[in-house]
């Protein structure tokens, strides 16, 4: 009669891990769990995980609105990005996300802009800007390639075009104007640049008399 084989076999002893070897347990495993990319630098498969994807979606950025204030606009607005929002008779709300542009980009608004109270330009605008009693503020980072016909103009950026300020025109220290200025009151702070002709208009009270 043959001897009965034992049903329970002794579990083989685990081999001690060598220094620097990544195993299922021990300090090497903890390093692998906490820093998978650093622990897998020497393996080709893990290096592929750390490699960035080439087919990632294009990045868009939310930027400051081109103009700030209540105004009417008629013209073109090139968009290199996405537009989201709603349009209706009671109210409108549109969000535009553009790709980053260079300084020599095309105008973000190109057309006629009319407003009543106050309008601030923060981007690149071209065409014509007019207001009978409003105040136009050109931000320091703004560029305006347009003719301006408003009551008050405060320029801290660059303006390329003729300006008519029925009340006054102010140029800040970083203001740059290339064009003719017609106004009854002109103020230029040190550092401002003006290239063109200036024609001083009469005050409204003198015109009324």
pLDDT, tens digit (0-9, with 9 covering 90-100), for 42-79: 444 444 445 555 555 556 555 678 888 888 888 877 77
| Secondary structure class of 17 (helix, strand, coil) | coil
55: in domain? no
Indicate the number of domains in the chain. Answer: 1
Check residue 112 and give its pLDDT: 95
| Closest C-alpha to 68, from 134, 133, 167, 158 | 134
9: in domain? no
> Residue 93 sits in which domain range?
61-208
199: in domain? yes
* The pTM of the whole model exceeds 0.85: no
183: in domain? yes
**Phi-psi category of 50—alpha, beta or left, where left has phi over 0 and alpha has psi -120 to 50?**
alpha
């Amino acid at each position: 009669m043959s001897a009965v084989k034992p049903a329970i076999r002794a579990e083989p002893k685990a081999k001690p891990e060598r220094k620097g070897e990544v195993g299922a347990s021990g300090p090497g495993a903890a390093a692998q769990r906490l820093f998978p990319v650093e622990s897998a630098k020497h393996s080709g498969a893990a290096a592929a995980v750390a490699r960035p994807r080439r087919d990632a979606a294009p990045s868009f950025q939310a930027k400051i609105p081109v103009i700030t204030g209540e105004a009417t606009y008629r013209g073109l607005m090139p968009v290199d990005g996405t537009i989201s929002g709603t349009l209706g008779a009671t109210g409108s709300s549109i969000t535009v996300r553009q790709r980053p542009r260079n300084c020599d980009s095309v105008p973000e608004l190109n057309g006629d802009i009319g407003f009543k109270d106050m309008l601030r330009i923060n981007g690149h605008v071209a065409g014509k800007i007019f207001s009978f009693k409003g105040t136009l503020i050109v931000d320091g980072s703004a560029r305006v390639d347009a003719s301006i016909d408003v009551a008050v103009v405060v320029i801290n950026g660059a303006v390329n075009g003729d300006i008519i300020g029925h009340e006054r025109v102010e140029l800040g220290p970083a203001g740059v104007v290339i064009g003719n200025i017609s106004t009854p009151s002109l103020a230029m702070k040190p550092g401002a640049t003006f290239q063109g002709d200036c024609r001083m208009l009469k005050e409204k009270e003198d015109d009324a008399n």
